Chains A and B, each alone.
Chain A
């Protein structure tokens, strides 16, 4: 077919203005192909054209009355929650796609936002979309969009990646970086793009208009903007004003007008004129409470810490390995290996089981990258303890499973471990005990994973899993989780529990945790489980608290700030458990303050928006 390139350029878009109204008119780029077909006497049947006309007629989209994309995603959603569809429709139909979605935590704001996004894409309104989330939620968003909405978003790391990316997702902490030397945002390219829709999760972090974060978002060019937060203000109503300024400049007047119209002297949290403020908010905001939403039941999390008493040999092996890490962990040139990294990668491993400790030592012995004195030390410890036959932790695990079975015979149990080697080890031991086991780890194909989940649901009682590969799994048919070892990142623990704590869970969830006595593990487990993950928060609240406290962003070692805190506490304690316990107490107090602050914020938000 002759393709008249010159002619195609004749059909370039024509831009005109009528007053302020911008009109863009285009003719089809491929129109000349049809002219060429005629020239070449290439004809199809008229019936085909008539059918095509009819197809245009029946596929014509009318105004937004229902979500035409819903049947597409319905199969991927576990539950049909009417408030999510209603919210998406309202955002599109009544609020022109610029809205503050302030539903309470646990109502699925991500799903509602995803529905808006999908509908816009199916209707052809959106081609370029940007999602900004806290660092710890980037992967979760990506996964949900992929599995539930069939949308593949690309995570933007470097600024060069903005070009040619239609569906972009980025950590807001990454993109808001400002270069004071050039006086520009590092990711200014994002501001040069005209986005059809931007979604910002945990938008309450945009409460201060003097931050780079706020300024970065304000400079983004966008047709539609969705701000998601359950708590649109924390300390005073000016924060709410700043948030709405991003959505609709001047919606609440100038700051002076807002102060005189809505702020009570001496009380920044209670408005002067609540009804009027609520009316103004309703023009740009959607807010639903959990007790209004149909079809959701929230189950309790019951934490159980199982103390594991190590034998003398096991405890000795653990102590000697830790001592080695502190005193004699040297590289080939005799230089100390980065302790933070070492602690992060090795310590959880050696607290996991003495078998893991021996594996670690074997690795040091075989590896030439270590200094001879380190290798010699490792050999000594290994030779002394390689024949330990007792394993108190695994024995405790068997005891625990027996106990659970006594309480609820045959009930499903999910065991988590961080390490694939430990997974296989536990599996081998439990199989000997005649338990029916499903193993689940990274590296399995999607169909293999589905098969394993089906196997666990229908045939086996126990599934042993690593974190890798288990993201996004729905295991609400199981209500017992055993953390054989625990990640030091509470977000990862939330992810583990989140496999069970989902809409559709019918029982209270038992969260069992094995913690070896006399090691730092018992303190970490107590902090993460008893003081963070199982204190009655709704799924999704802990990440907000950590985000608010700035503890969810990554640091150079690849860990997040919370993990770093624990590691530093351990390093500062110099392997003295009493000192470590004191340090952990300090972290615990800090977290407690964050939780209290969050609870206060929820209270103020509810007072303003719900009463």
Chain B
């Protein structure tokens, strides 16, 4: 167990270091005695973080304590959070090209096109949208995050592996002027699917939270149940005492005892009146509601889904003039999905 923890720690350090090196790849970096010194940092980043370079980055708390003005880099550390925030509104959109040319000569052998004779072929572009969401689940003093990606075409979630294609950096010029990139409907689809997926993901969290909350609510409810019961009992005792004293009074003849009993009855009645007048039930019910609400709010599960990127994939799309049994028609062929329309 201990070894696993150490391994995790080391792999986290490696990941963080690798990330830092990539982020500052255009800056000047020296790596000496476990200290990464970074200079020549873009001014935009310097202004954002509010600290002038060189940055001395260390990956070990003991070293951090020794090196003056160093920044400790560890999973979730402030410097990494600052870089994340810096990148927050960056990399939100990308354009990629699925670069492949299907062998049109072989197209006629495609089972979907078998019954057609291809007369003419016209190539154009079509698009797929990839939506990436960052979901954050926060509850009590815990926070979990996950990233989900959806590939969507015309409101349909696609289950295809784009890695089998040759993906290249896209060029804006490849998109025709009359082509509209409307990703809004696909976004609405993605939201719905994400909702379902997230709900599956938080099942365990919900169970833990519910259990914790119920325990706290039981404490509050039990407390007020007992409090009300105690007050009720107090009222009942008071009433019984009055009855008992009144009974006693009826059978007493000595003046001195009568006056004592009358005084005690009067005091008990006053006490009873005070208990009932204060409306303890209503007051305690209001208090209970307040504390129940406090616990519910304390155990709130907050889910925040934020779209962090839309990537547009474009690829060749064919309009085919075909003839079938002497009849000419136009059909569309999507080679990435391998579908005709």
Contact = CB atoms under 8 A, between A and B. Distances in A.
A97 B297 CA distance: 14
B71 A37 contact: no
A93 B76 contact: no
Contact of B306 (A19, A28, A71, A251): A28
Contacts of B310: 34-35, 37-38
Interface in B242-283: none
A31 B307 contact: yes
A53 B91 CA distance: 9
B80 A55 contact: yes
A179 interface: no
A194 B296 CA distance: 12
Nearest to B309: A49
Contacts of B19: 51, 54-55, 57-58
B78 A69 contact: yes
Contacts of B180: 39
A125 B304 CA distance: 13
B294 A222 contact: yes
Given A49-B94, A51-B87, A221 B306 contact: no
A254 B306 contact: no
B298 A223 contact: yes
A254 B227 contact: yes
B297 A221 contact: yes
A250 B294 contact: no
B307 A248 contact: no
Given A21-B210, A254-B227, A96 B141 contact: yes
B217 A20 contact: yes
Most buried by B among A24, A35, A72, A125: A35
A22 interface: yes
Interface stretch (B107-115, B181-189, B327-335): B181-189
B93 A37 contact: yes
Given A51-B23, A63-B142, A25 B206 contact: no
Given A46-B96, A51-B22, A58 B75 contact: yes
A27 interface: yes
Nearest to A39: B181
A59 B84 contact: yes
B143 A59 contact: no
A596 interface: no
Contacts of A125: 138, 141, 143
Contacts of B145: 56, 60
B72 A71 contact: yes
Contacts of A28: 304-307
A80 B66 CA distance: 13
Contact of B307 (A21, A34, A57, A80): A34
B213 A20 contact: yes
A48 B206 contact: no
A518 B137 CA distance: 71
Most buried by A among B74, B172, B294: B294
Interface residues of A, number: 74
Interface stretch (B117-125, B156-164, B218-226): B218-226
A325 B87 CA distance: 68
Contacts of B187: 31, 35
B147 interface: yes
A33 B71 CA distance: 34
A18 B210 CA distance: 9
A24 B300 contact: yes
Interface residues of B, number: 86
A97 to B, nearest CB: 6
Contacts of A31: 187, 306-307
B16 interface: yes
Contact of B172 (A41, A71, A75): A41
A223 to B, nearest CB: 5
B294 A123 contact: no
A30 B140 CA distance: 26
A122 interface: yes
A44 B230 contact: no
Nearest to B167: A46
Contacts of A37: 92-93, 310
Contacts of A224: 298
B268 to A, nearest CB: 19
Given A27-B305, A43-B93, A52-B91, A250 B222 contact: yes
B193 interface: no
A62 interface: yes
Contact of A26 (B94, B219, B299, B304): B304
B7 interface: no
Contacts of B90: 44, 48, 52
B213 A18 contact: no
B90 to A, nearest CB: 5
A45 B181 contact: no
A134 B108 CA distance: 87
Contacts of B69: 75
Interface in A324-375: none
B76 A62 contact: yes
A219 interface: yes
A57 B20 CA distance: 12
B294 A93 contact: no
A61 interface: yes
A42 to B, nearest CB: 6
A52 to B, nearest CB: 4
A61 B143 contact: yes
Contacts of A66: 74
A189 interface: no
Contacts of B198: 25
A69 B80 CA distance: 12
Nearest to A252: B223
B241 interface: no
A97 B141 contact: yes
Contacts of B75: 58-62
Contacts of A249: 219-220, 223, 291
Contacts of A219: 290
Interface string B167-178: 001101001000
A388 interface: no
Contacts of A44: 90-94
B144 to A, nearest CB: 8
Contact of B147 (A48, A56, A221, A248): A56
B302 interface: yes
Nearest to B288: A249
A43 to B, nearest CB: 4
Contacts of B303: 23-26
Nearest to A27: B305
A447 interface: no
A92 B140 CA distance: 9
A124 B141 CA distance: 10
A157 interface: no
B171 to A, nearest CB: 9
Contacts of A59: 75-77, 80-81, 83-84
Interface of A: 7, 18-28, 30-35, 37-39, 41-46, 48-64, 66, 68-69, 71-72, 75, 80, 92-93, 96-97, 120, 122-125, 194, 219, 221-224, 248-251, 253-254, 256-257
Given A55-B84, A59-B81, A222-B294, 4 more contacts: A25-B302, A46-B169, A49-B308, A223-B298
14 contacts: A21-B206, A24-B303, A35-B184, A44-B94, A46-B311, A55-B23, A68-B74, A68-B77, A71-B64, A71-B71, A75-B69, A125-B141, A194-B297, A249-B220
